[in-house]
Amino acid sequence: MLTLLHTSPVHVPVFDALRDEEAPGLALRHLVRPELLDRARELGPDAVAEEVAAALAGAAREGARAVLCTCSTIGAVAEAAGAGLGPAVLRADRPMAAAAVAAGTRIVVLAALASTLAPTEDLIAEEADRAGRAVRVRTVLVPGAWERFEAGDTEGYLEAVAAAAREVPAADAIVLAQASMASAADRLTGGVPVLSSPRTGLRAAAQLAASDRSLSGLRTT
């Protein structure tokens, strides 16, 4: 069984559909904890470390072979809390960050939430160090996008993200920092890779749930 830790219920059907495509038959359990993101935005990700650790411990007790955290803001907290837990804990945006580093040295990160920018930039730096590559990261906060997401204006949200992506100057990869942004990539054309986390994150976590739970050698594309 793979457990997914979400901070929004909108991700549940998205990851169910991806499971059907990438790993049919894999049992998923969804934990939806929006209050974790609310507090992390207000007080910083470390403020929810104990609650995240408790959620992960509960997933382990209920038989999870692996846990995927789909929230970029608390992803690093989840991975840290999961160290030594038993089930492997993976943040969904890690494979995306690895793919961005592999794409080139000029990486632009788009985010709808300010609280996501620093964790994503830190993750890309970590993956660049792992790969032995030097990269330049530029972050862009998409104005007004999160307000549209919270209001249920999915069309407006995705178009705001896509519009921001179209304004990106020369880059080797554009990273959509939040899982909820993924469908904005469908609105874009051009040669620059536009990377999102749901598919590659689910694929990697499914491998963990089915294998030796090692984070090495995961498919990221």
- How do residues 147-195 score in pLDDT, each as one tens digit? 999 999 999 999 999 999 999 988 999 999 999 999 999 999 877 999 9
The pLDDT value given to residue 219: 39
Give the residue-averaged pLDDT of 207-216: 65
The pLDDT value given to residue 37: 95
C-alpha 19, offset from chain centre: 16
Domains defined for the chain, CATH in brackets = 2-92+199-210 (3.40.50), 94-196 (3.40.50.1860)
The predicted-structure confidence for 113-155, as pLDDT tens digits, reads as follows 999 999 999 999 999 999 999 999 999 999 999 999 999 999 9
Q: Which residues contact 198 (CB under 8 A, 6 or more apart)?
A: 11, 14, 15, 18, 70, 92, 179, 182
Closest listed residue to residue 70, CA positions, set 184, 182, 214? 182
The pLDDT value given to residue 220: 39
The pLDDT value given to residue 189: 85
Predicted TM-score (pTM) of the model is: 0.89
| Angle in degrees, CA 22, 28, 30, rounded to 5 | 125
Share of the chain above pLDDT 90, in %: 88
Comparing 61 with 218, which gets the higher pLDDT?
61
| 197 and 92 Cβ atoms separated by less than 8 Å | yes
- Range scoring the smallest mean pLDDT among 41-45, 208-212, 213-217: 213-217
Distance CA 64, CA 5 (A): 12
Angle between helices 114-131 and 34-43 (to 10 degrees): 90
Residue 50 CB-density burial (10 A; 0-12 exposed, 13-18 middle, 19+ buried): exposed
